[in-house]
Amino acid sequence: MHELKLEYRNKSALGGLFIYAFSTVFVTYLSVSRSPPSDLLSTFIWIAVLFISINAAGKGFLQEQKERMLYYYSLVKPTSFILGKIFYTSLLVGVIAMLVNGIFILLFDSNIEAPIWYAVALLLGGAGFAATITFISAIAMSASGNFTLVSVLSFPVLLPFLVTQVKFSKLCIAGFDSVLALKYAGILILLNLLVWALAYLLFPYLWRD
Amino acid sequence: MKWWKVLAIVLMLYSIIGGFLIDVPRLPILHETIRNTYFHVTLWFAMMILMTISIVNSIRYLSSGDKKHDYLANETVNIGLFFGVLGLTTGMIWAQFTWGAFWVNDVKTNGTAITLLVYFAYAVLRGSVDDPQKKARLGAVYSIFAYVMLILFLWILPRITDSLHPGNGGNPAFGSYDMDNTMRMVFYPAIIGFFLLGWWLVTLRIRLKNIQDKLVEDV
Amino acid sequence: MFRLKKISLLLILSLLSTLSFAQEITMADAMRESGKIYVVVAVLSLVMVGLLAYLIYIDKKVSKIESEIDKK
CA distances from C68 to B204, B209, C65 (A): 16, 15, 5
pLDDT of residue B173: 45
Residues of A with CB below 8 A from B118's CB? 156-157
Q: How far is CA C64 from the centre of its chain?
A: 33
Quick check: C21 pLDDT over 70?
no
Q: For residue C42, what is the nearest residue in chain B, using CA coordinates?
A: B17
> How many structural domains compose chain A?
1
Distance from CA of A92 to the nearest CA of B (A): 23
Nearest alpha carbon to residue A100 among A78, A122, A120: A122
Where is average pLDDT lowest: B45-54, C50-59, C62-71?
Answer: C62-71
**Each residue's pLDDT tens digit, A17-55:** 778 888 888 888 888 767 778 778 888 888 888 888 888
Can you tell me the distance from the alpha carbon of B79 to that of B84, in angstroms, rounded to the nearest whole number? 8
CA distances from B59 to A78, A123, B54, B209 (A): 19, 32, 9, 21
Report ipTM (2 d.p.). Answer: 0.81
Residues of B with CB below 8 A from C41's CB? 16-17, 20-21
The answer to whether residue A51 is domain-embedded is yes
Quick check: C58 pLDDT over 90?
yes
Q: Smallest Cβ distance to B124: which of A152, A159, A205?
A: A152
**Subunits with at least 3 CB pairs below 8 A relative to chain B?**
A, C
DSSP B99: T
Overall average pLDDT of the C21-48 stretch: 78
Neighbours of A75 (CB within 10 A): 12
What residue type is C28 in one-letter code? A
Low-confidence ranges of chain B (pLDDT < 70): 161-164, 166-179
Element (H, E) at A194: helix A178-206
Q: pLDDT: is B95 or C15 the higher one?
A: B95
Can you tell me the distance from the alpha carbon of A205 to that of A39, in angstroms, rounded to the nearest whole number? 40
Can you tell me the distance from the alpha carbon of C60 to that of A176, in angstroms, rounded to the nearest whole number? 65
The answer to whether residue A61 is domain-embedded is yes
Contact by Cβ (8 Å): A38, A175: yes
What residue type is A11 in one-letter code? K
The answer to whether residue A174 is domain-embedded is yes
Can you tell me the distance from the alpha carbon of B12 to that of B191, in angstroms, rounded to the nearest whole number? 9
Distance from CA of B142 to the nearest CA of C (A): 31
Q: Cβ of B6 under 8 Å from any chain C Cβ?
A: no
pLDDT of residue C19: 47
**Which of C33, C57, C62 is the best substitution to test chain B (most B C-beta atoms within 10 A)?**
C62
CA distances from B80 to B49, B50, B90, B116 (A): 9, 6, 15, 10
Nearest alpha carbon to residue B79 among B42, B48, B121: B48
Low-confidence ranges of chain A (pLDDT < 50): none
The answer to whether residue A152 is domain-embedded is yes
* Residues on B contacting A at a C-beta cutoff of 8 Å: 62, 114, 117-118, 121, 124-125, 128-129, 134, 137-138, 140-142, 144-145, 148-149, 152-153, 157
Distance from CA of A17 to the nearest CA of B (A): 27
First CA to last CA across chain B, in angstroms?
32
3-class SS of residue B137: helix
**Subunits with at least 3 CB pairs below 8 A relative to chain A?**
B
Domain of A65 in residue numbering reads as 38-206
